[in-house]
Amino acid sequence: MQAPDASLARLIDRVDSARARRAPLEIRGGGTKRFYGEAPAGTPLDMTELSGISSYEPTELVVTARAGTRLEDLEAALEEHGQCLPFEPPRFAQGSTVGGMVAAGLSGPARASAGSVRDHVLGITLLNGRSEVLTFGGQVSKNVAGYDVSRLLVGSLGVLGIICDVSMKVLPVSVATTTLTFDWDEQQALENLSRWAGQPWPINATAWHAERLYLRLAGARAAVATACERLGGERMETGAAKTWWLGVRDQSAEFFALDAASSARGESLWRLSVPAVAAALALPGQQFIEWGGAQRWWRTTAPGTEVREAAARAGGHATLIRGADRTQVFAPLNSVLMRVHQGLKKAFDPDGIFNPGRLYAGL
């Protein structure tokens, strides 16, 4: 094992001292997702110094970057070689980082067809709560040596340790992309999405809002052209389509912005993850549907219990994304799963110093 570099060595020192003082740390990258999860607690630990692309070989379809690397820098490097992060991680604002992307585990519009952040993570180097630097997975896509700890860390919100380096599978940008729109109500949109899901169309992303379905096709030129011909709808102008999908991806579209007035009305933004074929959900407020029906955003004044029950009845779960009352953000776990969570926390972070309570109280 090579000697850790200066920035990693400083992180190890910080962990040592936090353990000695039992003083929790809030692991922080670009700080663009501090709104997500339960309220952050602890002394901020800045990760942006640990940055840079450590290796990138386009022919391997693999990139390795340090946690503090800005997503915009990583994506620009990939773009130079005609490649991308196919799961379109939301950036929310400038400065979001690779580590934050993995820790939050959030994926963008193409998730239903291209897979999630977790699906693309190949390896992670972790600094755990015993100040040990550990590497799990690697830089190859087929790897079953040991438990798949690197993917366990995706979406862990930093509660198991500090994500230091990440290796990811990347993909070529599609040759052809076209967005079609259909003026359909929710029922029509859901029915057609369900029908198309069982057919070999090159559907890359879907979004439904305000009585309109947006369908992004991506793939081989011929495949996209045929799909445009057969599926009908209106073709969206390229620039406008790009802007629209960016708004969805980064949640900069108007629907996702909760201002003071909406908060005053008691509105919260919820994310409901349900089976794509779930029937229309009856909640008060406005809805934005993605992932072929599998991700349904609600701006609603309904109390949390009502939202959670609606999600559970549909076979899924609900997460509070933005709202006044930031407690019980994630759907509660049953006792068996909670016991496993507690066991994992103890195994990785025995002194409980990393992002305490960010995922669940007590973790």
Partner 1 sequence: MAVSVSTSLAGPEVQRLQRQNDVVAALIKVLPHEAILFRHEDTAPFECDALTAYRNSPMVVVLPDSEAQVAAILRICHKMGVPVVARGAGTGLSGGATPHHTGVVLSLAKFNKLKIDPKSCTAIAQCGVRNLAISEAAAPYGLYYAPDPSSQIACTIGGNVAENSGGVHCLKYGLTLHNVLRVRGFMADGEAVEFGSQALDAPGLDLLSIIIGSEGMLAVTTEVTVKLIPKPQLARCIMASFRDIESAGAAVASVIAHGIIPAGLEMMDKAMTAAVDAFVHADYDLEAAAILLCESDGTPEEVEEEIAHMEAVLRAAGASRIEVSRDEAQRLKFWSGRKNAFPASGGISPDYMCMDSTIPRKRLAEMLRAIQQMEAKYGLRCVNVFHAGDGNLHPLILFDAEDADEMRRCELFGADILETSVRLGGTVTGEHGVGVEKLNSMCVQFSPAERAQFLGVKSAFDPLELLNPGKVIPTLQRCAEYGKMHVHRGMLPFPELPRF
Site for partner 1 in 144-173 (CB under 8 A): 144-149, 151-152, 154-156, 160, 171-173
Which one of residues 7, 181, 188, 194 is an interface residue with partner 1 (CB under 8 A)? Answer: 194
Interface residue with partner 1 among 235, 265, 313, 346 (CB under 8 A) is 346
Which listed range, 34-42, 66-74, 254-262, 272-280, lies at the site for partner 1 (CB under 8 A)?
Answer: 272-280
Q: Which two tokens stand for residue 199?
A: 């057919």
* DSSP track, 306-348: HHHHHHHHTTSEEEEEE-S--SS-SPPPPHHHHHHHHHHHHHH
Q: With CB under 8 A as the rule, give the number of residues binding partner 1.
A: 84
Residue 343 interacts with partner 1 (CB under 8 A): yes or no: yes
String of b and e for 343-354 (b: at least 16 CB within 10 Å)? Answer: ebbeebbebbbb
Nearer to partner 1, 61 or 246 (CB): 61
Distance in Å, CB of 227 to partner 1, minimum: 9
Residue placing its CB nearer to partner 1 in the complex, 34 or 130: 130
Q: How far apart are CA 38 and CA 161, in angstroms?
A: 17
- Contact with partner 1 (CB under 8 A) among 138, 233, 285, 352: 138
Among the candidate windows 179-187, 207-215, 281-289, 342-350, which touches partner 1 by CB under 8 A? 342-350
349 closest CA partner among 25, 13, 124, 6:
25
Q: Does 328 bind partner 1 (CB under 8 A)?
A: no
Binding mask 50-89 for partner 1 (x = CB under 8 A): -------xxxxxx-------------------x-------
Position 9 contacts partner 1 (CB under 8 A): no
Contact partners, residue 180, CB within 8 Å, separation at least 6 = 214, 215, 217, 228, 231, 232, 233, 234, 235, 236
- Site membership for partner 1, residue 143 (CB under 8 A): yes
Of 46 and 351, CB closest to partner 1 = 351
DSSP string, 252-314: -SGGG---HHHHHTT-EEEEEE--TTPPPP--SSEEEEEGGGTEEEEEE-S-HHHHHHHHHHT
Which residues 226-255 are close enough to bind partner 1 by CB under 8 A? 226
User: Would you count residue 222 as binding partner 1 (CB under 8 A)?
Assistant: yes
Least spacing, CB of residue 14 vs partner 1, in Å: 19
**Among 294, 310, 321, 353, interactor with partner 1 by CB under 8 A:** 294
Using an 8 Å Cβ cutoff, are 37 and 105 in contact? no
Q: Is 188 in the site for partner 1 (CB under 8 A)?
A: no
Kindly tell me which of 156 and 251 has the beta carbon lying closer to partner 1.
156
Q: Considering the rule CB under 8 A, would residue 119 count as an interface residue with partner 1?
A: yes
d(CA 161, CA 135): 12
Q: Which is nearer to partner 1, 85 or 112 (CB)?
A: 112
d(CA 178, CA 234): 10
Q: Does 291 bind partner 1 (CB under 8 A)?
A: yes
19 in contact with partner 1 (CB under 8 A): no
- Euclidean distance between CA atoms 271 and 129, whole angstroms: 31
- Does 305 sit near partner 1 (CB under 8 A)? no
Query: What DSSP designation does 75 have?
Result: H
**In the chain, what's the furthest Cα-to-Cα distance?**
66
Per rule CB under 8 A, is residue 140 in the interface with partner 1?
A: yes
Contact, 26 vs 355, CB < 8 A? yes
User: Whose Cβ is closer to partner 1: residue 240's or residue 337's?
Assistant: 337
Query: Which of 61, 60, 49, 120 is closest to 89 using CA atoms?
Result: 120
Phi-psi region of 131 (alpha: psi -120 to 50; beta: other; left: phi over 0): left
Nearer to partner 1, 70 or 272 (CB): 272
Distance of alpha carbon 74 from alpha carbon 59, whole angstroms:
16
Interface with partner 1, residue 3, by CB under 8 A? no
